Amino acid sequence: MVERSDADKAREEFFSEAQELIDTLSTDLLALEESVRRGSVDAARINEVFRSVHTLKGLSGLFGAAQIAGLSHELENVLDDLRLGRIELTTEALDLLFQGVDLYGRILSAERNGAHLARGEIEPLLTALARLSKAGSGELIAPYDIEPGLLGVLSDYEEHRLRANVESGNSLYRIFLAFTISTFESSLDAFREGARELGEVITYLPTGTPSDPDAIELEILFGSRFDIAALRAAFPSKRIEEVGRRRQDASPPHRVAATRRDTPPQFGSVNQGSLTIPPPGIVRPPSENPEHLGSQLSTTLRSVSQTVRVDIRKLDHLMNLVGELAIVKTAMARFSERLRDRPELRDVRHEMQRLQRSFERHLLQMQDGILEVRMVPLGQVFDKLSRVVRKFARELDKEVNLVISGAETELDKLIVEELSDPLMHMIRNAIDHGIESREEREQVGKPNVGTIVLTAFQKGSHVLIEVEDDGRGMDTRGLLASAQRLGIVTQEEAESMSPREALHLAFAPGFTTKRYATDLSGRGVGLDVVKNNISRLGGVVDIASEAGTGTKLMVTLPITLAILNVILFEVSGSLFGLPMANVEEVLAFDERSVRQFERHEAIALRGNSLRISRLEQQLELPTSANTSRPSLLIAAIGGRRAGFVVDRLLGQESIVIKPLGKTLRSVRNVAGAAELGDQRLVLVLDTGTLVEEVFAGTREGRASKGLVG
């Protein structure tokens, strides 16, 4: 394993942290757009977006990412105007913010490769952001009897939120809270969540010297449309006072001048936004009691986080070591068997078996632990797709609502990363080809807003992902006509195809139903890329559609590709493996039960017809000289089942699968290779492509089958 320098490690940390911030920005902007669609503006969310951009700006400046820092500065100005009410959150403003998130991703990708984006790709957005940004006076006129000392420490944003609450007719309250230092953050978060439905926290400050040295006491300025009785009922243990209105003859209200936007925030200041959390334990000036302050700091500088960020390559290295240990385990079992013929070494054999069982138990725990660390929720990809839906829908002038279910479903990190592009293609096709225009939907009695449902759930050792739209569906006659026009099928083949086979023409290379290409589609590159990428991940994609109702794409993927339980067998003298997760059952093969149906062979199994394939023919291997009775492996994936005839079964084995490398990457039907305990190599077959070829029949089968086809 190659050691990386400290600079390289720090650079990787920067990219990971920046990507997390960009993903958070995307999620917050989508939530913000949803609040605008409902007729309100989530002020707290705007402030969160501002903070994320500000953090990204500081992080990029620290690591010399000048383009990210420059973009962040312009976005920060716009967000500052938005949160202070200087400009309105319009569709134009949201569009520019979303463009900023997209540009962040492109800049970050270029920076990772040691390059920079051309100025022409950045300048238009920077100019548009600068044009949108405006300056405001920042003066505050409040008709409430609020102490000048409190008004004097309000930030620009807090002043704006105070003004907004006053203008909307909300009442102002002072809420006094006390928390122990050990539970400060969790208790404050719980209060904020409970108060969100009742009103808005405008600001809060330490009250001074707490009555308990192990506690923090806060005074919160709270705006709410509810009366004080409702608040006291919601927070019975809290002291709540209503802020009185200023008398007509009172002195004029306090005015606060706006701070300059280009002034960097002072770390450690009392207020840094609408919800300022003072450092736990610091409740009085240092000059008052330095010894006490030091003791408080010593109890609060410990990190509350129990997580660490780990490079996936380190986990891959550990998984390879586990694979080597699995080989050692098998070798130990073989050695123990050899001792069976040595009665004088019976005690040694028993001790060897005891050590072997202990070794195997700990090895399985290690495998499970590494796999658990590699698993991440699909929500990491789904959140990005929400932004993709918005972008494509606006480009095509369509209204599309994305409904996500099962974002918590977990997959191997490497599979999740490779899944992004296939899902994006599927979403794009659904918007472009599936969802109709507003006029078309009105004519057929559908809602103006189209819907795409993205669902994920676990089924056994696989994860199923479905992308379903309520669009126009797919016309099989139109598909066949387009396939003939493009020369993908002949007229004779088209006439003999079933509706299901016609739908699968959408996955053919170069297939498109459009005669002219656009920026989004029509070039014949789309679902065939989806199919190939999913196949490389050991999965399969299926399709179902009904004209006028909609289309559903179904992807079936293994949870992980790192460790596999395989069934070993021989075909034409060569050793192969098939993932046990795809094997439903194993039967003795009887040649007399085979029947010929059109272009494929099949057998009757429990009242149903099962297509079969002779693997030596499908893999184009030499005819086997094996005279023993063959076996039939029945495999299933993505709702399809097929039987595969093999020469001889050899048992089961847990393996760490490894890719074939760049030279053999294009080899079909093979997912990878592994080494067994007796130093033999086994090729692990790709169940998805094998089953697809069985159902493709002679036309596609001849064109795609074979280990090197």
- Is residue 299 situated within a structural domain? no
Q: Does the pLDDT of residue 4 top 60, yes or no?
A: no
Beta bridge partners of 205: 219
Instruction: Return d(Cα 58, Cα 62) in angstroms, integer.
Output: 6
**Where does the pLDDT of residue 304 fall: very low under 50, low under 70, confident under 90, or very high at 90 and above?**
very low
Beta bridge partners of 222: 173, 201
Q: Which of 516, 539, 558 is the last residue of a domain?
A: 558
Contacts of 278 (CB under 8 A, 6+ apart): 206, 216, 270
Q: What is the pLDDT of residue 5?
A: 60
Q: Could you give the C-alpha distances from 133 to 83, 140, 211, 291, in angstroms and in order?
A: 12, 21, 46, 47
Q: What is the pLDDT of residue 395?
A: 86
Q: Which CATH number fits the domain that encloses residue 171?
A: 3.30.70.1110
Together in a domain, 434 and 549:
yes
Q: What is the pLDDT of residue 147?
A: 61
Q: What is the pLDDT of residue 569?
A: 93
Q: Does the pLDDT of residue 149 top 70, yes or no?
A: no
Contacts of 685 (CB under 8 A, 6+ apart): 576, 577, 578, 669, 670, 671
Q: How many domains does the chain have?
A: 5
What are the DSSP calls for 118-137, one per residue? -HHHHHHHHHHHHHH-----
Q: Which CATH number fits the domain that encloses residue 594?
A: 2.40.50.180
First to last CA, the chain: 34
Q: What is residue 54's three-state secondary structure?
A: helix
Together in a domain, 491 and 507:
yes
Indicate the range of 10-14, 225-229, 289-293, 367-371 predicted with least confidence: 289-293
- Is residue 142 situated within a structural domain? no
Together in a domain, 447 and 362:
no
Together in a domain, 368 and 437:
no
Q: Does the pLDDT of residue 522 top 50, yes or no?
A: no
**Where does the pLDDT of residue 470 fall: very low under 50, low under 70, confident under 90, or very high at 90 and above?**
very high
Region 599-615: what's the mean pLDDT?
87
What are the DSSP calls for 165-232, one per residue? HHHTT-EEEEEEEEEEGGGHHHHHHHHHHHHTTTEEEEEEEE-SS-SSTTEEEEEEEEEESS-HHHHH
Instruction: Return d(Cα 434, Cα 520) in angstroms, integer.
Output: 13
- ∠ CA 223-229-235 to the nearest 5 degrees? 75
Half-sphere exposure for 168 (CA within 13 Å, toward CB)? 16
Together in a domain, 403 and 540:
yes
Indicate the range of 179-188, 387-396, 606-615 predicted with least confidence: 179-188
Region 552-580: what's the mean pLDDT?
86
**Where does the pLDDT of residue 608 fall: very low under 50, low under 70, confident under 90, or very high at 90 and above?**
confident
Region 271-283: what's the mean pLDDT?
32
Together in a domain, 514 and 648:
no
Q: Which CATH number fits the domain that encloses residue 46?
A: 1.20.120.160
Instruction: Return d(Cα 572, Cα 19) in angstroms, integer.
Output: 50
Together in a domain, 576 and 629:
yes
Q: Which of 528, 558, 588 is the last residue of a domain?
A: 558
Indicate the range of 195-204, 250-259, 668-677 predicted with least confidence: 250-259
Q: Which of 558, 573, 601 is the last residue of a domain?
A: 558
Together in a domain, 387 and 526:
yes
Together in a domain, 15 and 30:
yes
* Residue 353 exposed, middle or buried by CB count within 10 Å (0-12, 13-18, 19+): middle
Pairing state between β 410-412 and 400-405: unpaired
Domain residues for the domain of 492 are 378-558
Element (H, E) at 597: strand 595-597
Instruction: Return d(Cα 410, Cα 382) in angstroms, integer.
Output: 12
- pLDDT, tens digit (0-9, with 9 covering 90-100), for 104-137: 888 888 888 888 888 888 888 888 888 887 544 3
Q: What is the pLDDT of residue 420?
A: 85
Q: Does the pLDDT of residue 514 top 50, yes or no?
A: yes
**Where does the pLDDT of residue 455 fall: very low under 50, low under 70, confident under 90, or very high at 90 and above?**
very high
Helix/strand/coil (H/E/C) assignment for every residue in 328-341: HHHHHHHHHHHHHH
- Is residue 214 situated within a structural domain? yes
Q: Does the pLDDT of residue 408 top 50, yes or no?
A: yes
Together in a domain, 336 and 202:
no
Together in a domain, 200 and 78:
no
Q: What is the pLDDT of residue 552?
A: 93
- ∠ CA 433-437-440 to the nearest 5 degrees? 105
- On whether the CB atoms of residues 22 and 103 are closer than 8 A, the answer is no
Together in a domain, 342 and 433:
no
Report the predicted TM-score, pTM, of the whole model to 2 decimal places.
Answer: 0.62
Q: Which amino acid does the sequence have at 265?
A: P
Indicate the range of 125-129, 384-388, 409-413 predicted with least confidence: 384-388
Q: Could you give the C-alpha distances from 216 to 66, 150, 176, 206, 295, in angstroms and in order?
A: 40, 18, 11, 7, 15
- Is residue 279 situated within a structural domain? yes
Q: What is the pLDDT of residue 633?
A: 93
